[in-house]
Structure 1
Amino acid sequence: MGLSVRKSVRVGPFRFNLSNSGIGVSAGIKGLRVGTGPRGNYIHMGLGGLNYRHTLSSTRPAPTIAPSRPVRPSSTALEPQSATHEALQEIDSGEIGLMVDSSSQALIEELNDKRKRLRLWPFALALTVGAFLLGSNKQLEPWLLNSVLITGGLLTTATYYWDLLRKTTVMLYDIEPEFAANVEQMHAAFEAVRGCQSTWHLQAQGKVLDRKYHAGASHLVTRRSVSLTFKTPPYVRTNIATPSIPVGRQTLYFFPDKVLVFEANGVGAVSYKNLRVDISTTNFIEDGAVPKDSQVVSTTWKFVNKKGGPDRRFKNNRQLPVVRYEEVQFSSDTGLLERIQMSCVGRTAGLARAIAGIAKVKNQS
């Protein structure tokens, strides 16, 4: 897909507009809108020709810086240690609060602060329902009960949009032409990786102790099928498409200047200059369906003897394909460690080059 940068984004009835003079905010309905200054509830990010601007007025607390051949069906969960393999070790990132650099600190504080804010509209709704029930019990006139419902409905609606505005961070990118090519390259490379028929997040792995019970594999892994999408993080509005990769309890969002890491307990960030992308191929013993875009390099048996042939002691000992897959590991010194596996080989190199290109631009800025 081509790079598309919009000049405005919506947060409920509010529209944030990007112009040469700054950020404008307007609100209203079709045919009637009221606008305000360049001040508003937003964060304007920067890289090279992009400038970081912070005009949010909320009070924030001080920051606390705190080559194998696996075999495993994608639907199987973690197992306890057995006599045939070692205990499986999770492939997982570290503490989300440590994933931050100096250039991202203000943004991460704002995102985490807003995620903690209490939503008020359920209280307004409960107050409306309570007032209506109380009025019904006291047998108030119908027009009074209708007035309670109308007033309460308007209050709940207004509170809902107020909550949405309080909890949402707007990130507007004004990308200069010379940098747009780098971002477009990353988006195109991500789109190519999305084209793989199957993608998995690798969750854990462990060394095999007795290969005859595991089709001759040297390691076991657990994995889960995931979908790569262009998706906006929760309570974030931005004017540019955002590649995202779900990796277990976390999701990686590839913005033009950094990777934001979202999980239920908070948000972290990894700059592209600190992001390591390591690519490898693996011969995977597949006991599920073989994706159409993958290459079968050999076959083995579910239970093998010392010579690699079928172990005749086991009934229904079926033959399994050995498939060549590609794996990419995202890591950083701040604790990021996630690995995904693709059914097609050769596409993630373009994504790694694009990320390296963005990191190079940032180092020069």
Structure 2
Amino acid sequence: MSFRFQRRVSIFPGVRLNFSGGGVSTTIGVRGAGVTFGKHGTFLNLGIPGSGISLRTRIDKPTSPNNFQPGRASQPTAPEMLPTPLSPLYRPLLPGEGEIASAPVSSLTSPGLADLKKLINEADALRKRLEQELADAEKKRKRAEIRLNRSLWLIARLFNWRRIPHLQAKVLEERNNVDKLEASLNDVIVNLEFDFDQNMIEKYQRDFESDFRKATQSAKIWDVTASYFADKFKQRTVANHMVERKTINFGFGNSEIVNSPVSPMRLGNANGEDILIYPAFVLMRDQTGDFALIDLMETSLTFSGVAFHEEEVVPADANVIGKTWKYANKDGSPDRRFNNNFPIPIVRCGELRLTGKQGLNEAFQLSNASSANALASSFANWQKILSSGPITSGPKATPTGSAEESFSDERNPREWGEIRHRGRSIYLAFDLIFIFFSILLIVHLFSGTSTSGMPTDFPKGVERQEIKPTINESPPARPEPIAPSNIRKIQPPELDVHAQNPPKDSTGEEPQPSHKPTEHPARVKVDFANVRSSPSTKSEVILRLPKGAILNVIGKTNDWYQVKLDTGTGWMNSVTLDVDK
């Protein structure tokens, strides 16, 4: 018989403290939903109040391999896996494990190559100084070009005409300075020469360089940066080592400082800049810019085949030699305690170890093991050739270029004159064209034509009020433009009365045309024109015609035209029509 102690204390709404034999925990939430925090973990509690249905699940990761999942007491949880690879924080490192890296670059140089290293470092320092000067010169050139472009604007050009040749000369001067620095920078290089006979060069290219080219074609190449012994019990694996690796590439390529007639072999390096293998030495560089030159005879490249548990995508050229499990027993069988256990292919990879007497230590893995093995054999054979071949001396270095070289800043006087003349002619032409069109625009704006298309100058004897609506008239809404053929559709019905009984003028007599009733075609030249019942601005408007409407004039009285309509006649002011006579 066992006793159980449990008590809950509400601190404030939504927060409770739980006291039990297992310790103290805190619950945050409301009835039916809450989260409990305690030394055994963090749990989510969900339920429907009054129904007896509830759910409790753990939402954090277990911190102890002896914990069991709630609700699954019959099946123990998987033990916690240690990081891969095993970090030195968990235990002291054993011999043969830890980070795989070379000694500091400053201590790797072979004694016989110290003078060459000094020459390369001096060239690199000079190159950095020239690069900084080139960057400053580029900024000055851009500023000079901006000032010149601004001075060429029309308004600015009118005030800075005399300064434009000087600004053009300044731009040329800055461009000349940039060209000079670029030429000096390209000349700062160390040229190498190797005293090999033709037979040695052919062997190098046929064997060593050819095998390296095949190795570069491997589907996957890794730089192995660390290696640790695996704890087979805690990590549930049959592997002996756990490694850290990063994907890199192999290839060919010269250094910016060193120029060689033979392209060096380039090995990617995850810990710094790439490693270059020349026919007689190895060139390394750290992130601070310091160089190391290692005699090839003081290095070794060894091959070893490794069986790797490939949890990533299996490379196409890798040889699969078996399989294992993510969590395996000592005999290689799957550990049934893990639900997410899955098989892992075992592939055979080639491992290359590049080492040297001065502290060189680099490791690489290639998915194509046969290519890695051939490269290691070619490396050893080339070392034998170097030790027995007819070499009169080591690599010779010839520095070229200097920052103190004289570089003429003089431009051809004819070129200066052409620039000045060309600048004056081109911009003067643009100015004249601009002024010409500006005058045309001003003349057009003040030519006497209003924005509405109505002439501002009225014929003699015609008052301005005659083309305006009467005082009693309210301006009608702007109608949609109508075609002349549709006039009869908008003709007011009163037009028939006026057509049968012509209106009389102010004297009480019927107006008589001053000309014979010969018809002349006319066109409306204003936006909208009123057709009235009599030749007076006080008479009734019987129709409004849009601009461009065509009709016939049959008579004229003073400044009024009598026009012919489909259902009669009407009167229009002469300023609204263009009459063809």
Aligned to 1:321: 345
More displaced, 304-313 or 318-327? 304-313
Task: Please give the secondary structure, in 1, of the residue aligned with 2:177.
Answer: helix
The reply on whether 1:162 has 2:184 as its aligned counterpart is: yes
Aligned to 1:29: none
Task: After TM superposition, list the pairs within 5 Å mapping 1:167-182 onto structure 2.
Answer: 168-173=189-194, 175-182=196-203
Task: Please give the secondary structure, in 2, of the residue aligned with 1:146.
Answer: helix
Aligned to 1:107: 116
Aligned to 2:219: 197
Distance in 2 (alpha carbons) for counterparts of 1:300 and 1:172: 52
Distance in 2 (alpha carbons) for counterparts of 1:161 and 1:215: 60
Task: Please give the secondary structure, in 1, of the residue aligned with 2:274.
Answer: strand
Distance in 2 (alpha carbons) for counterparts of 1:246 and 1:196: 14
The reply on whether 1:363 has 2:387 as its aligned counterpart is: yes
Q: Give % identity.
A: 19
| Cα gap change, 1:173 to 1:223, in 2 (>3 Å) | same
Aligned to 1:340: 364
RCO comparison, higher one (Cα < 8 Å, 6+): 1
Deviation, 1:338, is 0.3
- Cα RMSD of the aligned pairs, angstroms, is 2.9
Residues 100 and 269 in structure 1, CA contact (< 8 A), matched pair in contact too: yes
Deviation, 1:305, is 2.9
CA offsets 1:279-321 (integer angstroms, 9 cap, x no match):
1111100001111211111111111234422222222211101
Deviation, 1:174, is 5.8
Equivalences, count:
289
| Cα gap change, 1:233 to 1:197, in 2 (>3 Å) | same
Task: After TM superposition, list the pairs within 5 Å mapping 1:250-289 onto structure 2.
Answer: 250-264=273-287, 265-289=289-313
Query: Which amino acid is 2:323 matched to?
Result: T
Distance in 1 (alpha carbons) for counterparts of 2:256 and 2:379: 24
Task: Please give the secondary structure, in 2, of the residue aligned with 1:196.
Answer: coil
The reply on whether 1:183 has 2:207 as its aligned counterpart is: no
| Cα gap change, 1:95 to 1:176, in 2 (>3 Å) | same
Aligned to 1:68: none
Distance in 2 (alpha carbons) for counterparts of 1:235 and 1:77: 40
Residues 300 and 308 in structure 1, CA contact (< 8 A), matched pair in contact too: yes
Query: Which amino acid is 2:285 matched to?
Result: F
Distance in 2 (alpha carbons) for counterparts of 1:79 and 1:182: 44
Query: Which amino acid is 1:126 matched to?
Result: K
Tell me which structure has the larger Cα radius of gyration: 2
- Could you list the runs of 5+ residues in structure 2 that have no partner in the other structure? 1-82, 392-581
Query: Which amino acid is 2:369 matched to?
Result: V
Residues 282 and 327 in structure 1, CA contact (< 8 A), matched pair in contact too: yes
| Cα gap change, 1:302 to 1:262, in 2 (>3 Å) | same
Task: Please give the secondary structure, in 2, of the residue aligned with 1:190.
Answer: helix
Task: Please give the secondary structure, in 2, of the residue aligned with 1:103.
Answer: helix
More displaced, 142-151 or 86-95? 86-95
Task: Please give the secondary structure, in 1, of the residue aligned with 2:370.
Answer: coil
Distance in 2 (alpha carbons) for counterparts of 1:281 and 1:289: 19
Task: After TM superposition, list the pairs within 5 Å mapping 1:282-301 onto structure 2.
Answer: 282-301=306-325
Query: Which amino acid is 1:277 matched to?
Result: L
More displaced, 230-239 or 133-142? 133-142
Distance in 1 (alpha carbons) for counterparts of 2:261 and 2:345: 45
The reply on whether 1:353 has 2:377 as its aligned counterpart is: yes
Residues 353 and 364 in structure 2, CA contact (< 8 A), matched pair in contact too: yes
CA offsets 1:41-69 (integer angstroms, 9 cap, x no match):
xxxxxxxxxxxxxxxxxxxxxxxxxxxxx
| Cα gap change, 1:214 to 1:326, in 2 (>3 Å) | farther
Task: After TM superposition, list the pairs within 5 Å mapping 1:84-95 onto structure 2.
Answer: 89-95=98-104
Query: Which amino acid is 1:254 matched to?
Result: I
More displaced, 187-196 or 355-364? 355-364
Aligned to 1:218: 240
- TM-score scaled to structure 1, two decimals? 0.71
- Could you list the runs of 5+ residues in structure 1 that have no partner in the other structure? 1-75
Task: Please give the secondary structure, in 1, of the residue aligned with 2:284.
Answer: strand
Distance in 1 (alpha carbons) for counterparts of 2:372 and 2:340: 38
Residues 84 and 211 in structure 1, CA contact (< 8 A), matched pair in contact too: no
Aligned to 1:57: none
- TM-score scaled to structure 2, two decimals? 0.46
Task: Please give the secondary structure, in 1, of the residue aligned with 2:224.
Answer: strand
